Chains A and B, each alone.
Chain A
């Protein structure tokens, strides 16, 4: 028994698609990691019912609405609360006590998706008594993600897992107490998210916009090639105050980037880095 044919795209066709999107819509995917981008694009084609690069090009050229659907599907919008609890435990125990010495603590979540990680951070800051002094900036390339994040509503089905993660991270309170529950979802308490600033920011093309004591960019740079990783990590370096912290995903090492000598990893393997002076 054979399966339906795989949506096919050659690497040359992928390059043409990237070029088309840049010229017609101004989004630059040329320095995205090719392996994962190819996978996302063929997945979009499959969802749209296209079999080849010609059909995809035709619709991208002639149908801006299709492009915005494509963009939404292409960017990865997956996130979890307290993902990798051991990292959040380290934040509580090692990083927040250091940040407490700043009169205003500025935190940037770059690539915040629908907000789950920034809500996790708000909980940590709240429990450390620091939330009222914190300014959380949460940015993403995808406007639909930001719209969702501003509502503060997350799906109910993973809540049990999130509660488990929260406890693993050293959380001692009633996790569900941070939410109001509806049929459609769980709303993160407005008083904990009222000072979060959600804004569109494209790491590919946008610049430094503030100085931060902590930048969190987890599992975003894996979608970039080495050239773009270098650009983005330099942007983070320039956006951090001296001795500021940068957190990347558990499998994202600064070792493969140019800024590596300018950072030290404060806990081996957890990918919490500190900017050298």
Chain B
């Protein structure tokens, strides 16, 4: 399965914060299983409160289930994973999850930068990252790492985002990233399904 960039997609990492959930849901709903690669989702959210975000995201996805992985769980090639509350989500080279409870980065744990960086290191050109709406600057450095390792970076067009500062910052720091509106992101995903 290749994107318009012609690279083989092995993993898709999606990062978002305030205002990102509606777009995220429409992206997930556009997928038609079986998905030919792994999907990781990193969303900023509250800690120490009960959360059923993984259930909410799974709603209406049919056979697709969004899973919050445990430490050391192997990545399934067709799995859809949500970074657990209050942990950073990393990947080992043996394709198992590695959770990290160290300091928040840019006030965020999970941090989008941390996951994107890890995805870039392990998957290099096989990585695609999408950064959505949000109100801080998380994700900018991670997008840089994805691009530096030969991966593909897509940023939601700020004027379509409920909160613009996150995509704006990412564009400012990464003028080689691709900026797309939500319907274009959906087209992109559909074409990646092969």
Contacts and interface: CB of A to CB of B under 8 A. Distances in A.
Interface of A: 1-3, 6, 11, 33-36, 38-40, 76, 78, 80, 82-86, 161, 164-165, 168, 219, 221-223, 226, 229, 249-253, 255-256
Interface residues of B, number: 34
B48 A168 contact: yes
A219 B101 contact: yes
A6 B143 CA distance: 13
Interface of B: 48-50, 68-73, 84, 86-88, 90-93, 98-103, 114, 117-118, 121, 140-141, 144-145, 172-173, 175
A165 B102 CA distance: 20
Dominant secondary structure of chain A at its interface with chain B: helix
A1 B144 CA distance: 11
29 contacts: A3-B140, A33-B92, A33-B98, A34-B92, A34-B93, A34-B98, A35-B90, A35-B93, A36-B98, A39-B100, A39-B102, A76-B101, A80-B48, A83-B48, A86-B50, A161-B48, A168-B49, A222-B87, A222-B99, A223-B100, A229-B72, A249-B99, A249-B101, A250-B84, A251-B84, A251-B99, A252-B71, A255-B70, A256-B73
A221 B48 contact: no
Contacts of A35: 90-93, 98, 100, 118
Given A34-B93, A222-B71, A251 B87 contact: yes
Contacts of B92: 33-35
Contacts of B86: 83
A78 B105 CA distance: 13
Contacts of A39: 90, 100, 102, 114, 117-118
Given A229-B72, A253-B71, A256-B72, A40 B50 contact: no
A14 B20 CA distance: 37
